[in-house]
Every structure is written in C-alpha cells, then in structure tokens.
C-alpha cells in the first residue's frame, strides 16, 4: 500500500452520492448512495436489467450515463481493480502471456513463479501454454481471476459477477479468497445473484426505485 493511502486511512475508499442513471428513457436508479470502507465488502444485487453492470462500469469510468458525485480515495496508481463481463483474454496469446499483460498494465512485474502460483490458485497450472482461443468460457474467466492472486494489486476490487461460469469448487475457492482480501484490509464491491456465505458483506439492491421513478 502506498504511503499517501495510509495517511488518510479513515476516508472511505469510495464515496458515491446521488447517483442517477437513465437508459433508453428508463430510470434505472436515482438518489443512490454508496460508501465503501477499508476491509468491507458491498454486494450489488438486483434482477436482470436493473443496472448492476451499468452502475459498476460507471464507477470505474466505463459508462458516461451514470451521473452523480463519485469520489475515489486518492492513490498513486489506479485505485481499483476491475473485472467485468468480458474476459479480457486475447485468443492468440497464451494463458501466461495474457496474465503477464494484465499485470504489466497495472504496473506490476510479477516473476514467472508468481504468475504460475496465481494460475495454480485458479487450477490452470496445466494450461499455461495454451492459447486463449482453446479455453472454455469458464477457463477464460479463471485467467482473469488469476490476476486477483498476484502480489501488489490495488486495494479496492470491483468485480462484476465474479462467480459466473465458475464451477462449485471454483466459486468456493474464490469466496475464500475474497474473504481473505477483506480480512487483510482490502475492500470489495461486487455484483452477483448468488449469495456468498464465507464472508460478511452489505447488500444494496437495485430496482427498488423503478416503479416510483418511471413514467
């Protein structure tokens, strides 16, 4: 963790106020308040189409439809680690090359051992030389999630449906890892339909404003 982040440790990692999102003339949510502090986890819930992905993409700067004030705690590098729906895995690069690229993008330079360890954590150690196009959807997802096992990551993880396409063991392993991340003082914002049981989290449910707001 950087020194500047340590100085204002009491500030929340993320404070978002009065969020409004309108899409195709439909009000997804309004007056939404989110606060995320160190060591805590926040789950975004809601039915399909209630704006979970829109909200999370908006928070990391990938959606300009989201309006409101969004304050991330100032850090030296990018304050968040975002995992979205799309796997971010190039079909023509091997698993190891993909993972190294994802790390280098964030200014990390893990050695071969750290990369292999991360792949082993998601059960992909046997696939390190396979090109991305030979992997199944679940395996591509695991490569992206292997990033979460690298050392030196940002403290706040923003994970959009991290459990999709994973098998039962994979889900459980990831839950334990996320729990450990929060226990170490990291924070977590995630969306899922499934309710993790291994660690504690608060839940914000989207879709409750729809009936009163829509015209």
Point out which residues bind other proteins (CB under 8 A): 60-64, 77-78, 80, 82, 84-93, 97, 101-102, 104-107, 132
Smallest separation (angstroms) from other proteins to the CB of 66: 10
Query: For residues 78 and 172, which CB has a smaller minimum distance to other proteins in the complex?
Result: 78
CB atoms < 10 A from the CB of 114, how many? 18
Smallest separation (angstroms) from other proteins to the CB of 212: 27
Contact 18, 33 (CB under 8 A): yes
Backbone angles phi, psi at 196, to 5 degrees: -60, 145
Query: For residues 47 and 104, which CB has a smaller minimum distance to other proteins in the complex?
Result: 104
Q: CA-to-CA distance for 2 and 102, rounded, in angstroms? A: 21
Query: For residues 114 and 179, which CB has a smaller minimum distance to other proteins in the complex?
Result: 114
CB atoms < 10 A from the CB of 105, how many? 11
Smallest separation (angstroms) from other proteins to the CB of 204: 21
Please report how the helices 137-146 and 95-105 are oriented relative to each other, as an axis angle in degrees rounded to 10: 40
DSSP annotation of 73:
P
Task: Provide CB contacts within 8 A for 163, sequence distance 6+.
Answer: 171, 174, 192, 194, 196
Query: For residues 162 and 196, which CB has a smaller minimum distance to other proteins in the complex?
Result: 162
Smallest separation (angstroms) from other proteins to the CB of 186: 17
Region at 34 (left for phi over 0; alpha for psi -120 to 50; beta for the rest): beta
Query: For residues 37 and 75, which CB has a smaller minimum distance to other proteins in the complex?
Result: 75
Would you mind telling me the total number of residues written for the chain in this entry?
A: 215
Smallest separation (angstroms) from other proteins to the CB of 4: 15
Smallest separation (angstroms) from other proteins to the CB of 195: 26
Query: For residues 59 and 206, which CB has a smaller minimum distance to other proteins in the complex?
Result: 59
Nearest-5° Cα angle at 75, 186 to 148: 40
């Amino acid at each position: 963790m950087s020194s500047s982040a340590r100085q204002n440790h009491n500030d929340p990692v993320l404070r978002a106020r009065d969020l409004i999102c309108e899409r195709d003339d439909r009000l997804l949510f309004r007056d939404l308040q989110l606060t995320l502090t160190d060591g805590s986890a926040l789950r975004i819930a809601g039915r399909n189409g209630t704006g979970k992905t829109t909200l999370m993409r908006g928070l990391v700067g990938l959606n300009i439809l989201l309006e409101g004030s969004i304050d991330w705690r100032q850090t030296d590098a990018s304050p968040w680690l975002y995992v979205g729906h799309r796997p971010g895995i190039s079909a023509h690069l091997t698993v190891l090359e993909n993972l190294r690229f994802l790390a280098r993008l964030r200014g990390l330079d893990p050695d071969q051992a750290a990369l292999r360890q991360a792949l082993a954590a998601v059960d992909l150690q046997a696939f390190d030389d396979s090109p991305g196009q030979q992997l199944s959807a679940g395996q591509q997802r695991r490569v992206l999630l292997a990033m979460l096992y690298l050392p030196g990551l940002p403290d706040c993880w923003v994970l959009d449906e991290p459990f999709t396409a994973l098998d039962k063991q994979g889900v459980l392993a990831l839950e334990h890892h996320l729990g450990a991340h929060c226990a170490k003082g990291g924070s977590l914002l995630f969306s899922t339909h499934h309710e993790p049981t291994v660690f504690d989290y608060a839940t914000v449910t989207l879709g409750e404003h729809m009936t009163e707001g829509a015209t």
